[in-house]
Amino acid sequence: MGKVMKMKSPTSWNPFHYRIRFEKRLQDPPRWYPFVLSFGAIVLALVLGGLVIAQAGGNPFRSYAHIARASFGNLGVFSDTLVKATPLILVGLACSIAFRMRLWNIGAEGQFYLGAFGASYVVLRPWLPPETSAWIFIPVMILAGLIAGALWGFVPGFLKARYNVNEIISSLMMNYIAVAWNNYFIYAVWSEGGFQMSRMFPRTAWLPRLADYATQVPVFRGLTVHLGLIIGIIAAVVLWVIIYRSRWGYEIRLIGDNPQAAKYAGINITRNTIFVMMLSGALAGLAGVSEISGVVHRLQGSISPGYGFTGIIVAWLAKLNPFAVILVSVLFGALILAGREIQPSGIPKMIQGIILVCLIASDFLLRYRVRIINLQEEA
């Protein structure tokens, strides 16, 4: 009887004597395993991306070799890579703190724009006269950017907490509003000579760059890395302390892991929702400040090649760990830097998309293990 049942089971026609089975992991995988898995997902994504590039008539090897050379080839381009990585670090941190609480803030792009607006407002309104010392100028700009970004994060946070409005859609809608808001000021208020950009900021409103010290240290000549990188690293340390070493961070993690338990533990979810969205917005706004006063030095339209969206992938790839965010940001900074010259121009965006898809799919292997079963042995 048992034999007959076996004949009817779907494995019996299997020409191979092996079968793949997925089993739920009973204990956590080793510490190195998630990193290897993420690395494997990236490799797979690059292979898949290469296939699409080849399909679209490009040469994937040339594209990838170009990305590597144009971003890590020498000290000069590596410095440019770090410049691109700087806003990604801050935006990646912004996304990771929100995602930690399972708040899907995908409005970092808009918060970035508002941060840039806040910093510009200080210079262009002008709140501070152009001859103000950099020691006052830069902190005030940073403060203005933090506040503007936090305000932009407050709206979806408040709507989520008060009316249970889906924060994904509301924060995304705020992005479009932010772009139109900035455009109004670029076109109508601060336009310089009819161009769609503001006037150049005074030198005291620029974040200092390594190249500024080339007279003392000749190696720094032409290096564009600016103070924003240090700000980003400091922010990562602060955020790490908040998440893993503070009571507030514990509350955030508990809400993210188990909102029911957090509620019974007496944690105020409403207040945390608003605060975390504001903190997330402030960090994204800081990225805007860093970009506008460290790189662009004026308010104009195209200040972001989608940093706010890349930040989502950075946060996810870094598994929401603030220090990993820094490393991942450098990789994605390279992709963005080199991607500017690659044809077709959508390649960096597409590769980012494929990487994210592969990463999410690979998370399955964190929860399940693959077993190859010898059917004959089992029989």
The contact set with other proteins (CB under 8 A) reads 21-24, 52-53, 55-56, 104, 106, 155, 159, 163-166, 168-170, 172-174, 176-177, 180-181, 183-184, 187-188, 309, 312-313, 316, 343-354, 356-357, 359-361, 363-364, 367-368
Nearer to other proteins, 18 or 248 (CB): 18
Q: In angstroms, what is the minimal distance from the CB of 21 to other proteins?
A: 7
Q: How many CB atoms sit inside 10 A of residue 52's CB?
A: 16
Q: Which is nearer to other proteins, 191 or 268 (CB)?
A: 191
Query: Which CB sits closer to other proteins, 227 or 354?
Result: 354
Taking the CA atoms of the chain, what radius of gyration do you get in angstroms?
A: 24
Residue 202 is encoded by which pair of tokens? 């005074």
DSSP 318-374: TTT-HHHHHHHHHHHHHHHHHHTT-SSTTHHHHHHHHHHHHHHHHTHHHHEEEEEEE
Give me the numbers of helices (H) and strands (E) for the chain, helices first please. Answer: 16, 2
* 87/283 Cα distance (integer angstroms): 10
Minimum distance, C-beta of residue 193 to other proteins, in the bound complex (Å): 16
Closest CB 105 distance from other proteins, rounded Å: 11
Q: What is the DSSP-derived secondary structure letter of residue 301? A: S
Q: Which is nearer to other proteins, 90 or 317 (CB)?
A: 317
Beta carbon nearer to other proteins, 176 or 244 = 176
Smallest separation (angstroms) from other proteins to the CB of 187: 5
CB neighbours of 125 closer than 8 A, spacing ≥ 6? none
Closest distance to other proteins from the beta carbon of 261 (Å) = 18
Rounded to a whole number of angstroms, the minimum distance from the CB of residue 319 to other proteins is 12
Residue 300: φ, ψ to 5°: -145, 180
Q: Could you write out the DSSP letters of every residue in 197-257?
A: B-PPPPGGGSPPBGGGGTTT-GGGTT---BHHHHHHHHHHHHHHHHHHHSHHHHHHHHHHH
* 46 vs 140 by CB, closer to other proteins: 46
Residue (of 212, 211, 208, 207) closest to 223 by Cα position: 211
- E strands within the chain? 18-24, 368-374
**What minimum distance in Å lies between the beta carbon of 284 and other proteins?**
16
Would you say 248 or 364 has its CB closer to other proteins? 364
Indicate the SS3 state at residue 98.
Answer: helix
Q: Tell me the C-alpha distance between 265 and 247, whole Å.
A: 13
In angstroms, what is the minimal distance from the CB of 163 to other proteins? 5
CB 103: neighbour CB atoms within 10 A?
25
Q: How far is the CB of 174 from other proteins (least distance, A)?
A: 8
12, 6 in Cβ contact below 8 A? yes
- Residue 300 CA from chain centroid, whole number: 22
Q: Which is nearer to other proteins, 125 or 367 (CB)?
A: 367
Looking at beta carbons only, is 117 or 137 nearer to other proteins?
Answer: 117
